[in-house]
Amino acid sequence: MREKGTIPEVVIYTAVVDGFCKAQKLEDAKRIFRKMQSNGIIPNAFSYTVLIQGLYRSNKLEDAVEFCAEMLEAGHSPNVATFVGLVDTICKEKDLEEAESVMGS
C-alpha cells in the first residue's frame, strides 16, 4: 500500500497487530504498533486494547502495563474487559502492588 502512495488507516494497522498477537508474535505486534505511530497514524482505543490484551494474555505484563499507561496518557480509557483482564493477570502473578498501581491509574 505504501508503495502506491497511500498509508494504511488505523483499522488496517490494528488488524495486523491483532493477527500478530493471535499468532503469539508479540515483538512483531509491538513493532507494527510503533510503525503505525511513526507513520503519523494515531492509535485509537481499540488499537491499544488489541495490543494490551495480546500482551497480558501472553503474560507480557510489563509491556501490557506500559501500553496501558500510554493509552491513558493519549486520552483513551481501557474498556472493562481489558482493565479487568489486565488486573486479573497481574494478581495471578502475585504482583498485588502492581495491580493496585494499575487500579489507581
* Predicted confidence (pLDDT) per residue in 31-68, tens digit: 999 999 999 999 999 999 999 999 989 989 899 989 99
* Predicted confidence (pLDDT) per residue in 64-105, tens digit: 989 999 999 999 988 898 888 888 887 777 666 665 666 565
CA distance 12 to 63: 22
Domain that holds residue 75: 2-103
Please give the model's pTM, rounded to 2 decimal places.
Answer: 0.80
CA distance 27 to 5: 27
Q: What is the CATH number of the domain that holds 42?
A: 1.25.40.10
* Contact by Cβ (8 Å): 81, 96: no
Domain count, the chain: 1
CA distance 63 to 52: 8
